[in-house]
Structure formats: structure tokens, C-alpha cells
Amino acid sequence: MTSINRHFRLEGWLMVGVFLAPFALGIIAALVLPALVAPGKNSVDSPDAAIAASRQAWRSISEKTSQSSFSPASTARFEPYSATLEDGAWVVRGTAAAGYRGEILVTRVRQGDGTVEVRSEAIK
């Protein structure tokens, strides 16, 4: 086989690949995207579920650290808790007593997968 024939044969396969690649990607996207968009088994769909996930995270952190702000006694001081949905995440905040100055926990729970992020916020 001459090098000219090999060149055209290779070029032909490349052309086939260029035309088939978008179809293959479309099939893969059709199979994978619904699983990414659909709510997962850990999705959090209500304020009560977000507050429960927050409490579980605080309890877990409290068991691993000596920082008192995550202890059950400390988190109970800020009852009742409320959760509002902001940009796909539940933001859980406690209720501080009138005149309270200090730190309060603010917890974000992603609605889609239940991932929890805990931080403190200063009240001045």
C-alpha cells in the first residue's frame, strides 16, 4: 500500500470519527444527565429535614472537637431554628435572645445532595 493510499484511508477514518463523536456524546449525555439533575437519595426537600441535617452535623462535630459551640447544650440555646431556601441551599439559623452578643451557628444544607456546611456568625 502506498503512502498516498494510507493517507486517504487515515483521513477517511478521521472524518468518520468527527461525524460520529457528536452522536456518541449525545447518547452519553442522555444517559448520564438525568441522574445528575434528578434529586438524589440524600436530597433535602423541607425546612424540617434541613434542620434535622444541621442537628446531625452539629452532633457529629461536637463528638470530634472540644469546641463548646457545637454541644447540644449550646445549640439548644438558640431554639427554635428556622430554615430558608436560598440559591439551592437551605440556610438554617437559630433564634438569639434579645440583647445577645456573640457567635451563632449558621448552617447551609444543599437541597440536591444534603451536603452540610457549618460556620459561625458574629452578632454584635
Question: In this structure, are 74 and 104 located in the same domain?
Answer: yes
Instruction: Give how many domains the chain has, as a whole number.
Output: 2
Q: Which cell numbers in the block locate residue 99?
A: 440583647
Rounded to whole angstroms, the Cα distance separating 120 from 69 reads 9
Question: In this structure, are 66 and 103 located in the same domain?
Answer: yes
Question: In this structure, are 25 and 60 located in the same domain?
Answer: no
Question: In this structure, are 68 and 108 located in the same domain?
Answer: yes
Parent domain of 2: 1-38
Residue 32's pLDDT band, with cuts at 50, 70 and 90, is: low
Q: Which cell numbers in the block locate residue 20?
A: 460520529
* pLDDT above 80: residue 113: yes
What's the maximum distance between 2 C-alpha atoms anywhere in the chain?
89
Residue 45's pLDDT band, with cuts at 50, 70 and 90, is: very high
Q: What is the mean pLDDT of residues 76-82?
A: 94
Question: In this structure, are 63 and 20 located in the same domain?
Answer: no
